[in-house]
């Protein structure tokens, strides 16, 4: 990995992000953090499936984790990945107004994670305060 050439490094990163579900995960986490079970209810997919993608994203350096008791919270390791995704959307013809914005994870109905249960105040979820720049 260390001595991969530029094309390889860049394309690995791009390929990692080149999956709609992984993008969904990233958009859901946004500038906050989320545990697996939160994503499970928010995205309505099986736990194992989510874990697999989270692992891939973490191995690729896109996500970082924090353990708190039995929960493991995932967050973006660098808010620039968000800008990269937005830039890709623009290149793909998405209108400026239809681009996603960085936001904290939304409370989800059936979710019982500490955030959705209100055990951690919402504002503490906001880890990145970067607002994607407009041209």
Partner DNA sequence: TTTTCATATTCGTATTTTTGAATATATTGT
Partner DNA sequence: ACAATATATTCAAAAATACGAATATGAAAA
Q: What does the binding site for DNA look like in residue numbers (CB under 7 A)?
A: 15, 18-19, 21, 35-38, 40, 45-49, 51-52, 54-56, 65, 67, 69-73, 112-113
Burial of 118 (0-12, 13-18, 19+ CB in 10 A): exposed
Nearest of 16, 101, 33 to residue 67 by alpha carbon: 33
Shortest CB 36 distance to DNA, Å: 3
Q: Which of 36, 84, 120, 130 binds a second copy (CB under 8 A)?
A: 84
Q: Of a second copy, DNA, none, which one sits near residue 83, judging by CB under 5 to 8 A according to partner kind? A: a second copy
Nearer to DNA, 64 or 132 (CB): 64
Nearer to a second copy, 114 or 132 (CB): 132
Burial of 92 (0-12, 13-18, 19+ CB in 10 A): exposed
Nearer to a second copy, 16 or 122 (CB): 16
Strand 71-76 versus strand 63-68 pairing type: antiparallel
Torsions phi, psi for 103 (to 5 deg): -150, 165
Q: Of DNA, a second copy, none, which one sits near residue 56, judging by CB under 5 to 8 A according to partner kind? A: DNA
* String of DSSP letters for 25-45: HHHHHTTS-EEHHHHHHHHT-
Residue 88 interacts with a second copy (CB under 8 A): yes or no: yes
Distance CA 37, CA 55 (A): 14
Binding site for a second copy (CB under 8 A): 5-24, 27, 61-62, 78, 80-81, 83-94, 98-100
């Amino acid at each position: 990995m260390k001595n991969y050439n530029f094309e390889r490094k860049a394309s690995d990163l791009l390929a990692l992000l080149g999956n709609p579900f992984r993008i969904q995960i990233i958009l859901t986490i946004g500038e906050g953090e989320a545990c697996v079970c939160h994503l499970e209810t928010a995205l309505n997919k099986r736990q194992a499936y989510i874990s697999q993608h989270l692992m891939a994203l973490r191995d690729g350096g896109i996500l970082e984790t924090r353990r708190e008791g039995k929960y493991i919270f995932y967050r973006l390791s660098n808010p620039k990945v968000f800008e990269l995704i937005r830039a890709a959307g623009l290149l793909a013809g998405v209108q400026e107004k239809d681009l996603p914005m960085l936001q904290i994870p939304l409370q989800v109905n059936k979710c019982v994670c500490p955030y959705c249960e209100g055990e951690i105040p919402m504002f503490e979820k906001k880890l990145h305060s970067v607002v994607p720049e407009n041209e």
